[in-house]
Amino acid sequence: MPTTPDRIDLATLPTPLERADRLSAAWGGPTIWVKRDDLTGFGLSGNKVRKLEYHFAAAIASGADTVVTCGAVQSNHCRATAVAAARLGLACDVYLRAAAPPRSVTANHLLMRLAGASVTLVTPDEYSARDKLMEARAAEYAAAGRSAWVIPEGASDALGMWGLVRGTRELADQAAVIPARRISIWHAASSGGTTAGIAWAIDRLGLDMDVTAVSVGDSGDEFGSRLSAIWSTATAGWGGATPGVPIDFVDGYVGGGYGVASTEQLAVEAEATALTGLLFDPTYTGKALFALKSEIEAGRFGRDDHVVFWHTGGGFAVFATDYGGVI
């Protein structure tokens, strides 16, 4: 594997790989394993902190005193960025997408503010120009004699993807305990950085693993464009060809769209928590779990198969969710 970019230690790594026997038995399909990135530590930042280790290293090396980023009003990424900035002594400026001002400041949004982030709420239409908004804010800081480092949505770019390249190398070492010729990695997908890093590592390391990316809101064309952009920049910077790993993109469980969870999905989340003791957030891991159970019921996997569910964290979003009618 080519030389990798610099990183700064923020996460508690490696995260464990655990066998979910009760969940596997209840759902009656493959043996399910869980890659516990909900245990990366650092404010329960999930897989987001893996990407931020590279972005904050670059920000500090550039002399930045501020980071600027964006996400949904309950963004795990923005919360993780705010916590990391507080730890490292940088200011944090975030743009949050919200159709209307939230009636209360809760969960991830609350934690961003507690960590001292400067929050600007923008409408979905305004958010469509998020990259321009962030560049303009960085220019304002430069004009004031300061320096800002812009972190894209989800830290999903050719720099942030290295966090999941490293994570997949961890998994490759841990997977020796799995008695299967081929392993399927199942994960929630949105901004593309997680999938890009996993597939890059599988390709470069020659791992015998399949990748399934479950959309939490976007179409296959949108997601494919993001992956192509990330890999194009990565190959230009670190060499080699674009990864040739087939990615099964599943977009049949988007439901009402990003951040919208059906009662049926929430019931599956609650069931999984009761069978594992783990928290699953409605936007990402909950939707990916719902898709996994549905695909098992449809006969996608057999009892000899092994699936690694990559738990990307995000448990704080549970506290901003109405589970009425489910529990």
The residue written with tokens 């038995």 in the block is 25
Interval 158-183 mean pLDDT: 95
Interval 94-103 mean pLDDT: 93
Four-point Cα dihedral 318, 319, 323, 326, nearest 10 = 60
pLDDT of residue 317: 85
CB 180, CB 303: distance < 8 Å: no
Domain ranges in the chain are 17-46+157-320, 48-155
Known catalytic residue at 75: yes
pLDDT of residue 283: 92
pLDDT of residue 319: 85
Average pLDDT in the chain: 95
Please, which pLDDT band fits residue 47 given cuts at 50, 70 and 90?
very high
Interval 289-303 mean pLDDT: 97
pLDDT of residue 1: 46
Q: What is the CATH number of domain 17-46+157-320?
A: 3.40.50.1100
pLDDT of residue 42: 73
Q: Which residues contact 19 (CB under 8 A, 6 or more apart)?
A: 31, 32, 33, 34
48-155 and 17-46+157-320 share a CATH fold: yes
127-170, pLDDT tens digit by residue? 999 999 999 999 999 999 999 999 999 999 999 999 999 999 99
d(C-alpha 82, C-alpha 76), whole Å? 10
Most distant CA pair in the chain, distance: 61
- CB-side neighbour CA atoms (13 Å) of 32: 25
pLDDT > 90? residue 326: no
Residue type, 253: Y
Interval 194-215 mean pLDDT: 96
Q: Which residues contact 253 (CB under 8 A, 6 or more apart)?
A: 214, 215, 265, 287, 290, 291, 294
Q: Which of 24, 45, 75, 191 is catalytic?
A: 75
248-265, pLDDT tens digit by residue? 999 999 999 998 999 999
Q: Which fold has domain 48-155?
A: Rossmann fold (3.40.50)
Q: What are phi and psi of 155, to 5 degrees?
A: 55, 30
pLDDT of residue 7: 97
275-285, pLDDT tens digit by residue? 999 999 999 99
